[in-house]
Structure 1
Amino acid sequence: MTKNKYIVGEHEHKTRVDKLLAEQNNNVSRSRVQSWIEEAYVKVNGECVKPNYKCQQGDRIEWMVPETQPLLLIPEAIDLDIVYEDKDILVVNKPKGMVVHPSAGHQSGTLVHALLYHCTDLSGINGVERPGIVHRLDKDTSGLLVVAKHDEAHQQLANQLVQKTMKRTYQAIVHGQIPHEKGLIEAPIGRDPKDRQKMAVVDNGKQAITHFRVLQPYQDFSHVECQLETGRTHQIRVHMKYIGYPIVGDPKYGPRKTLPTNGQVLHAKELRFNHPINNEEMHFTTELPTYFHDLLVYIQKMY
């Protein structure tokens, strides 16, 4: 591990040490920096401090970034709803509640563990912990995603994402009755400066574009369809909150008082792309899952 050093400047006086180090380490999450501090990888003027320590001008901060231990991926016999499969790709309908790839808090039961049991040939472009994963869905977002079985397919699919030729259409239930039929949200997204665990619309964020239309308005809710033109983290969730219509059940961006559901009501319903090898147009769609349909019935009975 390499030792890093930093001297606190005048404009950083009274900044929390965990916030300052998150910024100095390419905007890693503050919780990750806090774990470094708690494990004594960080010292200020030669002494260990707490994550909420307020830096003083001239403080000498020294820290080491611990090496990430690679996760041991053991295939798991988990049922998959496979919509399509050939020798190059497969398209999966991911259920609500399933994490796509392993992370520190999810070392088993992920889509990747299930994929490794189903087939041994997956692309390696995203590393050993994310084999085959071209794009992802949040844990509580259900629906379609495409998986690459080898690197050539992965690269071609990734290019379609960059060139915005892969079309991903979602459905959601949001708080509030949207007064217009359709709209376009173009607002840059980046890390929320007040909470590193969240994303937000910020001036220095990356370009983010979401198209939406109202499928069915209700008195206090709207059933909407959203199409991504870009693919930023939490894009639909952040954009719908930004215009004042947060997704029902969203624990990060929605109100605490919401309808009875576990996590955001967001489903990746439609996926269009060209086959990465033969260039054939591919189009997949799914029925709304039971949790989504049941909530629509619940809302209809409210009025």
Structure 2
Amino acid sequence: MSNSKQITIKEGGKRLDAALVNAGLEHSRSTLAAWIKEGAILVNGKQVKSSYKAKAGDEVFITVPETKETAIEAENIPLDIVYEDDDLIVVNKPQGMVVHPAAGHATGTLVNALLYHAPLSTINGEFRPGIVHRIDRDTSGLLMVAKNDKAHQALAAELKAHKTERYYYALVRGEFKEDKGTVDAPIGRHPKDRKKQAVIPGGRDAVTHFEVLERFNGYTLLKLALETGRTHQIRVHMQYIGHPVVGDPTYGHQQVMADIKLKGQLLHAKTLVLTQPNTGEKMTFDSELPESFKRVLKALKEE
């Protein structure tokens, strides 16, 4: 059943979706923006555009749409679950697995597997239930997943406030003189190739911190911390500074050794630090590097 709510805006000047979040509505801005577009939210009895700026005294009537049964098929696919409670799951995603269904990937995704395992939050819509943040198909590592909407909102808010800590390990081409540094360069869609991202003027802010963990002949193992979470951020930033991620078919350096075939970039989301949405406890999760990654490092050490 759908239900409805009525709210009087007390303080104007903000976009309607932001004003409703400020008024204490327990839905994400993206959800509210979608409802405004669908006409499920009326202001003073009229439909408004997403860009509408709320005014003090506006009467807002919200018809909460009925939750649809998801069309995504739950699939019994093995999962490497690092941690689980009533609110969240931390899962170690293997390289090659797509996070959620999209064009060309309707089945076999992490979401298909998670739905078989447990109910997930509905905030991100039909095809991304539970997904608070993503990692690329050919990047392995830790991902947090929300099991209910309240947890999802808390985890997403923490991520947006840059309070979630995410540390990646990457093997990159070339050698670094410095031991640590920061890449602060805006990222947007590539002007010529729509499937790629690039550092471009006017792109969205993107900040990546790096630290050298180990040096090899012609290669460097880095620990990277994300301050922002742009699409392909680490891969784009590493290419931008002339140190592409090894095995990256889109931005990088294809091959490391003739006898080692790589299935994707050597980039692993190794450590995740988050706050448990209900208890407020700070939790740290760590994961092993995949065997393929370890094999390359071992071979470089033996050179």
Is the pair's TM-score, using the shorter chain for normalization, greater than 0.5? Answer: yes
**C-alpha distance in 2 between matches for 1:247 and 1:262:** 13
- 8 Å CA contact retained: 1:71, 1:107: no
The correspondence for 2:175, drawn from 177, 183, 199, is 177
Task: Look up the equivalent residue of 1:195 and give its one-letter code.
Answer: D
The equivalences for 1:16-165 within 5 A come to 72-119=71-118, 121-165=119-163
**C-alpha distance in 1 between matches for 2:280 and 2:157:** 13
- 8 Å CA contact retained: 2:187, 2:199: yes
Shift of 1:235: 0.4
The equivalences for 1:132-281 within 5 A come to 132-259=130-257, 260-281=261-282
RMSD: 1.3
- 8 Å CA contact retained: 2:167, 2:271: yes
Shift of 1:179: 1.5
Task: Look up the equivalent residue of 1:136 and give its one-letter code.
Answer: R
Shift of 1:287: 1.4
Shift of 1:72: 3.3
Query: Which digits, 9 at most, give the CA deviation of each residue in 1:56-102, with x for residues without a partner?
Result: xxxxxxxxxxxxxx983111110101011011101001111111000
Query: Which digits, 9 at most, give the CA deviation of each residue in 1:254-295, with x for residues without a partner?
Result: 134544311100000000011112111011001111111011
Q: Which runs of 5+ in 1 are unaligned?
A: 1-69
Task: Look up the equivalent residue of 2:161 and give its one-letter code.
Answer: Q
**C-alpha distance in 1 between matches for 2:238 and 2:291:** 23
The equivalences for 1:275-294 within 5 A come to 275-294=276-295
Task: Look up the equivalent residue of 2:208 and give its one-letter code.
Answer: T
TM-score after normalising by structure 1: 0.75
**C-alpha distance in 1 between matches for 2:112 and 2:77:** 8
Q: Which runs of 5+ in 2 are unaligned?
A: 1-68
TM-score after normalising by structure 2: 0.75
Total equivalences in the alignment: 232
Query: Which digits, 9 at most, give the CA deviation of each residue in 1:9-35, with x for residues without a partner?
Result: xxxxxxxxxxxxxxxxxxxxxxxxxxx
